[in-house]
């Protein structure tokens, strides 16, 4: 199955869509400018660092989706 990946920034809100559904959303002002990825044996994760010590943790079951989200964030953020 082919997925579509989109990142939009509107009124300071960053939203990452997979197949038209918002999967991650955060305020651009709070974004510290970096994120980390975790390559686990069963899940692939991305940690997004925000101000105030807040970390958004996301996980993906397939490496393909994880890789595409990372590519999108590298390109757009």
pLDDT tens sequence across 10-43:
999 999 999 999 999 999 999 999 999 887 778 8
Tokens coding 6: 């989109």
1, pLDDT greater than 80: no
Q: What is the phi-psi region of residue 67: left when phi exceeds 0, alpha when psi lies from -120 to 50, beta otherwise?
A: alpha
Asked if 71 and 61 count as a contact pair (C-beta separation under 8 A), the reply is no
pLDDT of 44 reads 93
pLDDT of 42 reads 82
Tokens coding 29: 């002002």
CATH code of 5-76, in short, is 2.30.29.30
Q: Would you call 44 exposed, middle or buried from its count of C-beta atoms within 10 A (0-12, 13-18, 19+)?
A: buried
H or E, element range at 68: helix 63-76
- What residue segments make up the domains of the chain, in order of their start? 5-76
pLDDT of 3 reads 93
pLDDT tens sequence across 57-71:
999 998 899 999 999
pLDDT of 41 reads 76
């Amino acid at each position: 199955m082919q997925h579509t990946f989109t990142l939009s920034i509107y009124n300071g809100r960053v939203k990452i869509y997979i197949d038209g559904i918002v999967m991650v959303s955060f305020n651009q002002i709070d974004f510290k400018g970096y994120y980390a990825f975790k390559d686990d044996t069963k899940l692939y994760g991305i940690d997004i660092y925000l101000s105030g010590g807040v970390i958004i943790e996301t996980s993906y079951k397939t490496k393909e989706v994880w890789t595409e989200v990372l590519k999108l964030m590298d390109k757009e953020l």
